[in-house]
Structure 1
Amino acid sequence: MFLENYKSGWQDFFEDIKKEPFYIEMMEFLQKEYETHVIFPKFEDVFKIFRLVEPEEIGVIIIGQDPYHKKGLANGIAFSCSNDQKIPPSLRNIFKELNDDLNIDHFQNLDLSNWVSQGVFLINAIMTVRSGEPASHKNIGWEHFTEKVLDFINKKNEKIIYCLWGNFAKRIYNNLRYNFINKDLTISSAHPSPFSYHLFKNSRPFSKINEKLCVIGKEPISWDK
């Protein structure tokens, strides 16, 4: 159903996941959803993130909840949106913290594809949503899919930095199967939504990520791209 012209390193993952009963049922459900409702992101963008980076290149994982549910925003990357849109509140707060943390102004570029290409895996745990209905595709199988994706990445990479924004991301992280995740490489804070921005503010995740990347011998992220 979805465009799966993913990077070659994901081939084994998708070959295996397509055989899973939960995945087959979820795809059948989503086929009907796209036929009968307005669903975001566009079906060709649902797996966009897998087209931007090889699993072996991932050094940082940031977990979102589900895509933006307003027209034109969701583009297949957590927190990211198209540059012809008005900036969503959570993304605005992320950029405010980036500016405070590293003095980087990212407000004119709302598309975070370049972060993903550098190894920052921005994945929504729930990868589709009905227009105007946040969390409408919760519990259809996406959360299980995402956990399998992250377990696959963890097997491919000895050291991964997890940046957990909010309790939802922390629950997904705590459900991961592989117990060799390095807790010392995990960064936690509140979610950047307007409801918890006062707790997210001054958390400085971007400089912390780069510091930890340097410790494990990886290139820091150019957050200005």
Structure 2
Amino acid sequence: MTDEIFPNGWDQPLKQIATAHQWQDLIALKQAADQYYCDYGDLLTPSRTNLYRALELTAFTEVKVVLLGQDPYPSGDKATGLAFSVGQTTHWRRDSLAAIADLLASDGYGELTSGDLSPWAQQGVLLLNLRLTHRNTAAGHTKTVDRTLNWPLLTRLMIRALNERTAPVAFILWGKDAITMEKYIHASQHLLVRASHPSQMSRRRTLFKGKVSAFDRSQSFQQVNAWLQHMDQPLIDWTGSMAK
């Protein structure tokens, strides 16, 4: 039996979709990430223990929805290894999470009472950042994008593996970076929901000359649950306040 590379049953679908060379690159990526945390752990978010948390909480076979983020929060008390999610903190309603909470309310799901989105992950929502690490400088200034590790190799292969899956998946792509991944999602059984990013700068703007809805008007959560209902799948309880 070979050693596990990525947790919770992700190795097999990744190995099936990857070329032999890409699989060796994934092994090298895992090793490089381990060394990266040895060298720069104090500057990196999330913590080493949370690096693969999105995969740990949502197995390949359990994915019903994929929600793509960009990269982790630069602040260690916010970065949890889950896209858009923060830890159990009182002052969570700001920036993207504020927009997400507002959209949930306008979509009719009540009030989001916590910035910890791990209950979504436990229902089959893969909260995946396109890049799994964020690196701060020693002076405390943040870098916008950490390109040290080839995380896009992993995340692209994850999306391609899910696209090849017979069981349908709803893909939520918020913002230009996430929307670039739609070229890997073409199987007819899946749902694509696209909108601008929920950041304060983008939430009210359309993208691509109006072809992609502004986040605030996207009804993303309504679209996903309506599709799940049509597919005779359990709905996602987005806030814990949905009628049972």
TM-score (normalised: structure 2): 0.79
Change (3 A) 1:38 1:99: same
The answer as to whether partners of 2:65 and 2:124 remain within 8 angstroms in 1 is yes
Post-superposition Cα deviations, 1:139-173, rounded to whole Å, max 9, x if no partner, equal 63111110111122233343111111111101122
Aligned residues of 1:40 and 1:69 also touching (Cα < 8 A): yes
Q: Deviations over 1:93-129 (max 9, x none)?
A: 11111111114111x3111111011111110000111
How far apart in 1 are the matches of 2:33 and 2:5?
18
- The answer to whether residue 8 in structure 2 is matched with residue 12 in structure 1 is no
Query: Which has more radius of gyration?
Result: 2
> In 2 relative to 1, CA 142–53 (structure 1 residues): closer, same or farther, beyond 3 Å?
same
Cα distance in 2 between the residues matched to 1:146 and 1:197: 24
Q: What is the RMSD computed on CA atoms of the aligned residues?
A: 2.6
Distance in 1, matches of 2:129 and 2:7, equals 17
Matches within 5 A, 1:4-153: 6-7=7-8, 9-13=9-13, 19-21=23-25, 23-25=27-29, 27-28=31-32, 31-36=35-40, 37-84=42-89, 86-87=91-92, 88-106=94-112, 108-131=113-136, 132-138=141-147, 140-153=149-162
Aligned counterpart, 1:159: 168
Check conservation: 2:71, 2:145, Cα contact below 8 A: no
Q: CA deviation at 1:47?
A: 0.5
For 1:23 and 1:167, how far apart are their aligned partners in 2? 29
**8 Å contact kept, 2:47–2:76:** no
State the secondary structure of the residue aligned to 1:83.
coil
2:223 to 195, 208, 216: 208
Q: Name stretches of at least 5 consecutive residues in structure 1 with no aligned partner.
A: none
Percent identity, please. 24
Structure 1 length-normalised TM: 0.85
Equivalent residues of 2:225, 2:236 under 8 A apart: yes
**CA distance, structure 2, for counterparts of residue 92 and residue 134 of structure 1:** 23
CA distance in 1, matches of 2:31, 2:150: 9
Higher RCO structure (Cα 8 Å, ≥6 apart): 1
CA distance in 2, matches of 1:28, 1:5: 14
Contact in 1 for aligned 2:66/2:125 (Cα 8 Å):
yes
Aligned counterparts of 2:51 and 2:90: Cα–Cα separation in 1: 18
